[in-house]
Amino acid sequence: MTESFWAVPQAPTMRTPLSILREQAAALTQKTSGLLVGEVTTPKQSSADDELSIGLSIKVPALNNYVYHILNYQQPIVLYPGTLRTRFDNDWHEVPDHQAFIDLLQKILSSAEVGRIIEAL
């Protein structure tokens, strides 16, 4: 067998922003019994500057799959620091590390603005 020189970790020790957003999308779908569907999008190809853009939206199957975009996270290939922008304030928020990402995401998804949107949809 050929010896591998790749520096591949044994197991991931930290959830990525993409996996966290997918978990939250699934939680919305489950919590609303599919009336609202959380949707995470990523570009089909990488950008020239090696950044990944991840979007989180709410899809409404009963409204001809209407999609309401909630936020966008821009991250370097090494995950952090990144920037997060919501539809509500349109400002880019610096996200220096994993805990800051979790804290900001929790604040956004539990906000009155998102609550009003979910109620309206």
- Tell me whether residue 36 is in a domain: yes
pLDDT the model gives residue 47: 57
Judge whether 24 and 32 are in contact, CB under 8 Å. no
Predicted TM-score (pTM) of the model is 0.85
Q: Is residue 3 part of a domain?
A: no
Alpha carbons 32 and 92: distance in angstroms, whole number: 29
Residue 6 lies in a domain: no
> Per the domain annotation, does 88 fall within a domain?
yes
Domain that holds residue 34: 17-120
Most confident of 72-81, 88-97, 98-107: 98-107
On whether residue 9 sits in a domain, the answer given is no
Helices within the chain (DSSP H only): 17-31, 98-109, 112-120
10, pLDDT greater than 80: no
The Cα–Cα gap between 55 and 95 comes to 15
Q: Is the pLDDT of residue 53 over 60?
A: yes
Give the chain's domain count: 1
